[in-house]
Amino acid sequence: MEQKLSVIMATDVVGYSRLMEIDEKGTLSALKKHRQELLDAKVALHHGRIIKLMGDGMLVEFRAVEEAVLCAVEIQREMRTRNTNVRRDRQIEFRIGINIGDILFEDEDIYGDGVNVAARIESIARPGGVAVSASVRDTVGNRLYVSFEDAGEQALKNIERPLRIFNVIIDDDTPSKHTPTALMAPPSLNVQDNPANASNRTLLYVSRFVNLSGDPDQEYFAAGITEDIVAALSRFSGLNVIVRLPRSEPQQNAPATHYTLEGSVRRLGNRVRVNANLTNALHEHIWAEKYDFDLVDVFYIQDELSQSIPAALNIKIEEAERHRVLGKPLTALRAYDFYLRGRHLEMSLNPDDVRLAREMFVAAINDDPGYARGYLGLAWLEIHRLKWNERVDLETTLASAFASASKALELSPYDANVHWALGVVYLWRGEAERAIGCYERGRELAPNNCDLLAEYCDALGYLGRLEDATRIGELALRLNPSRPDWYLWNIAASKYLSGNYLEALSLLEKMADLGSAYRLLAATYAQLGRLEDARRAASELLKLNPEFSIGRYSSRAPYRDKALLARYVEGLRLAGLPE
């Protein structure tokens, strides 16, 4: 049995039984023609795969939400044209529903909630219309020339809870007045001129990697690596990537407000070495790394470097920027600097640090009300209060986090970190499909964002997708060898929930500062029968969070599979933590 997350489109013919009664042969002939000439062609054009045919309906799997929505809209528009000269009672109309969810493949058939929900959404779509789940709407955002109508929460047959449904408006080919044209396409990859320093983005100059092989025929390889790295770096919303060095060398006393990536490629026989180094405007070295490969597959090498180098740079540049702004007097700070100061403090368990982080994020908003990251910081402060089991009102805290994250999304719809934060909020609200949609949208925007991947590992663990959680978490570790400790915590949690307590303990023991992870360490020791160690870990947790209680944790934590929650709670009780 294979399980995976997919975009599913379900289609069905409106009034099929009635049409068959009127003219069985004519209906079958017309439907076959529409399928061959229209549906099959559009599905192939948008990289879909028909996975099941069911009489008058079919299920289609897509790689991307945008492809599914565009395919559905184009089918319905073309069907209107095809029905123009057909008698009203003989017209074939489709209903289409689209959802993001899990599907299971077994014995050449498919199952799963994702399929069931897509079929139920299709059943309430308008004749000739397209209906989508909220996770689809959130993922698409404002990136297509398509508008949506909120149909509210709908009770669907055999679906446990009501789902928010949106109808796609397909009779208006122009963007909605609420969807500015500027939001329809992502920002350009390269910036050709020096942007203003007040852009609230970090400047990164990338020079073409130098070919040191002594063979001019290897220039293509160095150029290809540079292009791939630039394309990947440009997907990080906090960077302005400029594919050249500055026009003039900075003076030695210039402020460190930009960074430069340089590199070289040396090919010797069947081996290739790539060196990359990052410096600031004062020519101080921030980061350097070398990569050695067997020259078997050139494209594999380029793909590997276009993941590893951008992932490392994103982390190292933000670290360098945080340290830079900490040396500034408060009177000299602007929105971006205020945000970085807040980021430096937001993960602290010290209430005074958290209070100061909030002040920094508010200062960022006051300095520049259009700067999304200030609102994003406020959203994360609320999220941390839940994740760390503080004594707060669940609904009020989630509402505050959602309001701040939604404002950030309005201001910066292409910021992967904003979609990630919204995903966490939806997860804790119990809206799993919307949460996954937000995480996946974040990955589309910044596939090498290590922190996002590590946090996605945590979400997948809560949702019971333990193998996926481990795989995503280990990818984050591979891309960011200098990872923070919480990466290990999230992977360890998926190991614990899988019953692999020794593997969980091995990861936790690598953490330099456990913090709230003492909770998981206590439960892990307890499950391994090391009760004295478990009680010591529980004692350390209560020093950091004296108000921790098993009851509050179990009533809030967004586990989809209650058996997994029970496994965690069992460990916490064995460790002696308070109810």
pLDDT for the residue 197: 39
Concatenating the DSSP letter of every residue in 441-508 gives: HHHHH-TT-HHHHHHHHHHHHHTT-HHHHHHHHHHHHHH-TT--HHHHHHHHHHHHHTT-HHHHHHHH
pLDDT for the residue 85: 86
Quote the CA–CA distance of 313 and 233 in Å, as a whole number: 8
- Pick 3 or 358 by higher pLDDT: 358
Architecture of domain 197-322: 3-Layer(aba) Sandwich (3.40)
pLDDT for the residue 200: 57
pLDDT for the residue 400: 94
Poorest-pLDDT segment among 381-390, 425-434, 500-509, 530-539:
381-390
Q: Which residues contact 427 (CB under 8 A, 6 or more apart)?
A: 435, 459, 462, 463, 558
pLDDT at 138 exceeding the cut of 60: yes
Quote the CA–CA distance of 372 and 349 in Å, as a whole number: 24
Instruction: Give residue-wise pLDDT tens across range 556-575.
Output: 889 988 999 999 999 999 99
- Pick 234 or 149 by higher pLDDT: 149
Summary mean pLDDT of the chain: 81
pLDDT at 375 exceeding the cut of 70: yes
> Token pair of 205, please?
């100059």
477-579 placed in CATH 1.25.40:
yes
Give the number of other CB atoms < 10 A from CB of residue 110: 18
In this prediction, what percent of the chain has a pLDDT beyond 90? 25
Binned at pLDDT 50, 70 and 90, residue 104 comes out as: confident
- Pick 46 or 242 by higher pLDDT: 46
Instruction: Give residue-wise pLDDT tens across range 404-421.
Output: 999 998 888 878 888 999
Instruction: Please indicate whether the domains covering 328-447 and 477-579 agree at the CATH topology level.
Output: yes
At residue 106, the 3 state secondary structure works out as: strand
- Pick 394 or 532 by higher pLDDT: 532
Instruction: Give residue-wise pLDDT tens across range 459-473.
Output: 999 999 999 899 989
Binned at pLDDT 50, 70 and 90, residue 180 comes out as: very low
List b or e across 163-201, with b for residues whose CB sees 16 or more CB atoms inside 10 angstroms. Answer: bbbbbbebeeeebeeebeeeeeeeeeeebeeeeeeeebb
Instruction: Give residue-wise pLDDT tens across range 196-208.
Output: 334 456 778 888 7
Architecture of domain 328-447: Alpha Horseshoe (1.25)
pLDDT for the residue 198: 40
pLDDT at 177 exceeding the cut of 80: no
Quote the CA–CA distance of 287 and 224 in Å, as a whole number: 22
pLDDT for the residue 520: 93
DSSP state, 37? Answer: I
DSSP state, 304? Answer: H
Which is nearest to 436 in space by CA: 444, 428, 427?
Answer: 427
Quote the CA–CA distance of 312 and 310 in Å, as a whole number: 5
Instruction: Give residue-wise pLDDT tens across range 273-292.
Output: 888 888 877 777 778 888 88
Q: What is the mean pLDDT of residues 44-69?
A: 84
Among 61-70, 71-80, 106-115, 298-307, name the most confident range.
71-80
Q: Are strands 202-206 and 258-268 parallel, antiparallel or unpaired?
A: parallel
Q: Are 19 and 92 in contact (CB under 8 A)?
A: yes
H or E segment and range at residue 434: helix 432-445
pLDDT at 144 exceeding the cut of 80: no
C-alpha to C-alpha distances, 57 to 89, 90, 106, nearest whole angstrom: 19, 18, 20
Q: What is the mean pLDDT of residues 90-117?
A: 82
pLDDT for the residue 574: 95
pLDDT for the residue 107: 65
- Pick 243 or 105 by higher pLDDT: 105
> Token pair of 68, please?
């599914």
In this prediction, what percent of the chain has a pLDDT beyond 70? 83
The residue type of 76 is Q
For the chain, domain boundaries: 2-183, 197-322, 328-447, 477-579
pLDDT for the residue 246: 38
Quote the CA–CA distance of 2 and 280 in Å, as a whole number: 47
- How far apart, in Å, do the first and last CA atoms of the chain sit? 39
Binned at pLDDT 50, 70 and 90, residue 389 comes out as: confident
Q: Are 240 and 203 in contact (CB under 8 A)?
A: yes
pLDDT for the residue 461: 92
> Token pair of 465, please?
């997708």
Instruction: Give residue-wise pLDDT tens across range 435-464.
Output: 888 888 888 777 778 888 889 999 999 999
Q: Are strands 210-211 and 271-280 parallel, antiparallel or unpaired?
A: unpaired
Quote the CA–CA distance of 346 and 451 in Å, as a whole number: 15
Binned at pLDDT 50, 70 and 90, residue 425 comes out as: very high
Poorest-pLDDT segment among 14-28, 145-159, 353-367, 400-414:
145-159
From the number of C-beta atoms within 10 Å of its C-beta (0-12, 13-18, 19+), residue 486 rates as buried
- Pick 22 or 217 by higher pLDDT: 22
2-183 placed in CATH 3.40.640.10:
no
Quote the CA–CA distance of 407 and 413 in Å, as a whole number: 10
Q: Which residues contact 199 (CB under 8 A, 6 or more apart)?
A: 240
Which is nearest to 272 in space by CA: 323, 326, 312, 215?
Answer: 215
Q: Are 527 and 574 in contact (CB under 8 A)?
A: yes
At residue 390, the 3 state secondary structure works out as: coil
